Structure 1
Amino acid sequence: MSGVWAAFGWLTVFRVPGSASARGVLPWAPLVGLVLGALAALVGWLAARSASPLVGAVLAVALLAWLTRGLHLDGLADTADGLGPLRGRERALEVMRSGDVGPFGVATLVLALLLQVACLAQLLSLDGGWLAPVTAVVAARLAMSRCGLPGVPTAAGSSLGAAVAGTVSRAWLAACAVVVVLLVLGTALWLGDLGQGGRLVAAAALGLAAGELLHRRARARLGGVNGDVMGAAGEVTATATLLAAAVLLG
């Protein structure tokens, strides 16, 4: 269970025992995503029914930001600053480590959050639309786990990247993906709309493709991945999944 505790200790605001080492974080990231996604979906659904879908969307996104301590959003902003301007590899990494947020980071962060809220507001107005945020958050953690596959290089100076390098086997990641697909389809079938489940699986696949594009761009520009890239991959995947879901289910 040490890997589970480490995943919740590193990827959430929860204080859990045995979470000092980051070594076992990424294999269990999808489980963390399932818990966080369920909590966000519950809050969003309740607020959508008692107030409005827009209120539910804002509260769901805010809850996710709080539950993750904003780390993934910070990673998205830092990665945008590092990859955006035309600068060399060493300078890009230096900018990402500085902690300051530049114009590329601010613009990317604001636009991503606006897009997440807009798509969630539409989805929460649909019957069974609460399943979409759960799917998006779990898909985001699959994208983060992908950064721990064997052979993925670590960006220079990244202690977190070095700690989690090679900790996720391809078989484990594939098994997690299959479980996610079955859970989405099974829940959709229970809700009486298997077609909705199929469209959500397709949306998650598109979201993961967007996260993969970012992953490859970061590796080419930075020479590998670091904690910021992992967080950015998760946020890009979640945002793209919500967008695809809003289009496919709308």
Structure 2
Amino acid sequence: MVTDAPGSRFTDGVRLAVTTLTVLPVRGGRVDRPAAAVAMSVAPLIGLLLGLTLAGLHEGLRALGGPALVAAGVTVAAGALLTRGLHLDGLADTVDALGSYRSGPSALEIMKKPDIGPFGVVALATTVLIQAAAVATLGWWPIVIAWTTGRLALSLACRRGVPPARPSGLGAMVAATVPLPVVLLAATAVGAAAIPAFPDRPWQGPLAVAIALAAVFLLLRHATRRLGGITGDVLGACVELATTLTLITLTLR
């Protein structure tokens, strides 16, 4: 069948990545594990596009005379709007579940509740505050690198060997779909792209990417131990953790 051709599968995967990770009104294609593998593999490219958009917004506001913190706050808010706030919601649900000190089905049940607990509220407020404060001190390319690294975290979280916590849902569809060589290649590319972030400190950009991925790796280990694997919410937490830690490291002097 034509839909099984490699080109068609790649197109379906790119469409799935765009429709899942952004609010862009792209016509959807086939949604299955082969398409999910492509979607999670190209997630860093979606992060690159998001980063370029947000960096352009930030630089435009600054050029118009907007205060640094106001421009940064609008940029972070726009980032949430462009992704439907899904990653922030996933962060809050994941922190609530892991902060409950429960495991397995009990923790997953907390994650499914529509309300946000105190742990989640603190995580959301802290994350948005730190991101805005960091963006206010950075140039446009570090912003691009931070949002790209956040989506690189999805490739890492969906690498083969990381199980889903539930037999169904987004986590089950994308879990263990990305081959490790693809993850390593993407991480190398993003790390190399981070070098120009600070020409006088060429090590800082790659270090920021490495620290973010290391933290995501630890979160995945903890989630696998406590929850049994990944869920869509855990993926959102990985995105926000990676983005925030990249921003923090890039602000250090």
Normalising by the residue count of structure 1, what TM-score does the alignment of the two structures yield?
0.90
SS at match of 2:158: coil
How many residues are aligned here?
Answer: 238
Instruction: Report the alpha carbon displacement of residue 197 of structure 1 after superposing the two structures with TM.
Output: 4.3
What is the aligned partner in structure 2 of residue 230 from structure 1?
235
Give the one of 157, 164, 175 matched to 1:154. Answer: 164
What is the aligned partner in structure 1 of residue 56 from structure 2?
42
Instruction: Report the alpha carbon displacement of residue 5 of structure 1 after superposing the two structures with TM.
Output: 1.2
Is the 2:192–2:206 contact (alpha carbons within 8 Å) kept by the matching residues of 1? Answer: no
Q: 1:102 is matched by which residue type in structure 2?
A: G
* Unaligned 5+ runs, structure 2: 1-10
What is the aligned partner in structure 2 of residue 26 from structure 1?
40
243 and 115 in structure 1: CA distance in 2 versus 1, 3 angstrom threshold: same
Report matched runs for 1:80-91 at 5 Å: 80-91=95-106
Deviations 1:80-138 (CA, angstroms, capped at 9, x unpaired): 10000222321110011122111110111001110111111122xxxxx2111111111
Matched, 1:69 2:74: no
- Partners of 1:88 and 1:178 lie apart in 2 by 34
Runs of 4+ with >6 A deviation? none
Normalising by the residue count of structure 2, what TM-score does the alignment of the two structures yield?
0.89
Matched, 1:16 2:21: no
Report matched runs for 1:55-204 at 5 Å: 55-123=70-138, 129-185=139-195, 187-188=196-197, 194-204=199-209
SS at match of 1:9: helix
Instruction: Report the alpha carbon displacement of residue 165 of structure 1 after superposing the two structures with TM.
Output: 2.2
- Partners of 2:230 and 2:245 lie apart in 1 by 20
Q: 2:136 is matched by which residue type in structure 1?
A: A
- Partners of 1:149 and 1:218 lie apart in 2 by 15
- Partners of 1:29 and 1:54 lie apart in 2 by 28
Instruction: Report the alpha carbon displacement of residue 162 of structure 1 after superposing the two structures with TM.
Output: 1.4
Let me know the Cα RMSD of the aligned residues. 1.6
What is the aligned partner in structure 2 of residue 54 from structure 1?
69
Report sequence identity in percent: 42
Is the 1:48–1:55 contact (alpha carbons within 8 Å) kept by the matching residues of 2? Answer: no
Is the 2:12–2:31 contact (alpha carbons within 8 Å) kept by the matching residues of 1? Answer: no
Instruction: Report the alpha carbon displacement of residue 242 of structure 1 after superposing the two structures with TM.
Output: 0.6
SS at match of 1:122: coil
Give the one of 209, 216, 221 matched to 2:221. Answer: 216
